[in-house]
Amino acid sequence: MKGGGKGILRNTAVVGAMTALSRVLGLVREMFQSRLIGAGVEQSAFTLAFAIPNMMRKLFGEGALTAAFVPVFKGEVESQRMESARRLARAVMTMSLLMLAAISVLAVAGLSIALHWGPDFSERTSLTLRLTRLLVPYMIFICGAAFGMGVLNALGKFAAASLMPCLLNVVWIGALGVLCFFPGMALSSRIVWVSGAILFAGFLQMAFMFYCMKRRGVSPLPSRAGWGDPNTRLVWRNMLVAAVGAGAVQINYMLDQVLAQAAAPWAAGVIGYAERLMDLPLGIVGVAFGTVLLPTFAGCFAKDDVEGARAAFLSSTDNLLFVMIPAAAGLGILAPDMTRVIYEGKAFDAMATTRVGRAVACYAFGLGFFGLQKTLVPWFQAQKDMKTPLAVSVKMVFLNATLNILAVLFLPEEWRHVGLAASTVFCAGVACVWLAVLARRKNGALGLAALVRPVGRTLVASAAMGAALWTARSWFSTRSWTGVWANVTQLGALVALGTVVYFGTHFLFARRTFVARLHALRPRR
């Protein structure tokens, strides 16, 4: 593994470690929420309401804006024009937050009018609108925080930015903990309380990122200077193109939520819980690589170092699949067990466990594809090419929407949400193949043939792990052990077995490569 690959792996390990902490806290949060809120109408209303600010976060925060801003900002940093880079950051940040504030005011006003003077809504619709109104301002805070993450990542400072999401989970868990002292509170009141805590957490996240930016020499104070600079205009032009693509993806996500509501009253909440489980490996590894690769690729292309970018891509893809493929196999087999241990209890019953487990098993097949998208999309964004990912995204929107509608129309009610998950997986696979072909046309061969042997070894080791897990799980199922601790012990034993078999198989057949991966993770001296 080349030096650049080692640097990427170290940075990814830092991001992954911080993200792992956030994801573990997120699972603790979900364990509380599943028991205190359940997987019914209230959770579905919250899932839909929280999707609105999350959509804006992905559109204007860590999505289109970051993708358009980081390559231009990184180019200024690589050229040693730090004053210009600082002015660019302040200009883009000020304009973004003003725009988001205006959108928030209009949205809150419109929702208030609808609630007070609109028609008589159903209880579920009314709760969804009230939660949406409460959570809309969250998008200002989280987008500001996401922009701060982009600045820090472009400066090569990944730890603080990756730690920021933990603040949300800590506050969220605290709010759920308070609810334990009010067992008689209605579910609708509980979810309103949780939404208020999320809003407060968003403010803390933005304040933390702005503090870190200031420490690195980039002031977070609003400024009109630089609004008309060529670099600022370039960022906004690229952002508009990327926003169309990101918007198409988010519209597709919202359509998924609406179709989930049509599929079954509980489907949106169930899919939300399944996606949280998928976020554990995807967030730790896939998002970590995507976070590191955008500024890395941008730095390479700013110096016309296509070979360096290609080496970074191959190294990252190899290491990403080294984790994602066995994670997919493990999740696919252990989906019911993980769902039962993490979620089941009180308001979350055995039927909810079955439903979520089915969705998790389906999503598991797409883990590799979801991760690969995190390495392929930055390849284009780092070259200030927002149109190529846009074109692919728009086409996937139509394909996914078609498949989702077919799933809702023709599958039995208990399997419609699984059809929605399968559509997402299929479209992710098609998008990966398409992006790889377009990357080859743009910059020549990516050298994917070099991945055949290492990925082949990963597949063999994952198959051995899967066989061991299936056998052990079958053996456990013949025992009459019941209870929470029995389930936890069984899952822990299965995870430990899978880990030993997977890494042991790799060590047996590719000792030198396996040791090289471990050496690459060592901190610099």
pLDDT band at 3 (very low <50, low <70, confident <90, very high): very low
Question: Which helix (H) or strand (E) is 155 found in, with range?
Answer: none
Residues 373-382: tens digit of each pLDDT: 888 988 998 8
> Is the confidence at residue 2, as pLDDT, over 50?
no
Pseudo-torsion of CA 122, 125, 126, 127, nearest 10°?
120
pLDDT band at 252 (very low <50, low <70, confident <90, very high): low
Residues 273-326: tens digit of each pLDDT: 888 788 777 777 777 777 778 888 888 888 888 898 999 899 889 888 988 999
Check if the beta carbon of residue 294 is closer than 8 Å to that of residue 381. Answer: yes
Of 400, 402, 361, 396, give the one whose Cα is nearest residue 376. 396
> Is the confidence at residue 51, as pLDDT, over 70?
yes
Indicate the SS3 state at residue 159.
helix
Give the domain ranges of the chain.
Answer: 3-520
Phi, psi of 223 (to 5 degrees): -155, 140
Average pLDDT of span 247-261: 69
**What's residue 149's pLDDT?**
85
Q: Where in 262-370 does DSSP place strands (E)?
A: none
Please state, in angstroms and rounded to a whole number, the distance separating the CA atoms of residues 219 and 211: 9
Q: How many helices (H) and strands (E) does the chain have?
A: 20, 0
Phi, psi of 438 (to 5 degrees): -70, -35
Query: Which CA distances in Å does 384 have to 231, 245, 287, 387, 399?
Result: 12, 14, 20, 9, 26
Of 389, 463, 432, 495, give the one whose Cα is nearest residue 286. 432
> Is the confidence at residue 500, as pLDDT, over 90?
yes
> Is the confidence at residue 432, as pLDDT, over 90?
yes
pLDDT band at 461 (very low <50, low <70, confident <90, very high): very high
Half-sphere exposure of 466 (CA within 13 A, CB side): 17
Question: Which helix (H) or strand (E) is 346 found in, with range?
Answer: none
Q: Which two tokens stand for residue 223?
A: 């400024």
**What's residue 1's pLDDT?**
45
> Following DSSP, what letter does each residue of 451-515 receive, concatenated?
GHHHHHHHHHHHHHHHHHHHHHHHHHHTS---SHHHHHHHHHHHHHHHHHHHHHHHHHH-HHHHH
- DSSP tag of 151: H
User: Helix %, strand %, coil % for the chain, to 5?
Assistant: 85, 0, 15
Average pLDDT, the chain: 84
Of 178, 223, 221, 216, give the one whose Cα is nearest residue 196. 178
> Following DSSP, what letter does each residue of 71-140 receive, concatenated?
HHHHHHHHTT-HHHHHHHHHHHHHHHHHHHHHHHHHHHHHHHHHHHHS----HHHHHHHHHHHHHTTHHH
Residue type present at position 100: L
Residues 106-142: tens digit of each pLDDT: 999 999 998 888 777 777 788 889 999 999 999 899 8
Residues 319-370: tens digit of each pLDDT: 889 889 999 999 999 998 988 888 887 778 888 888 999 999 999 998 889 8
Question: Which helix (H) or strand (E) is 60 found in, with range?
Answer: none
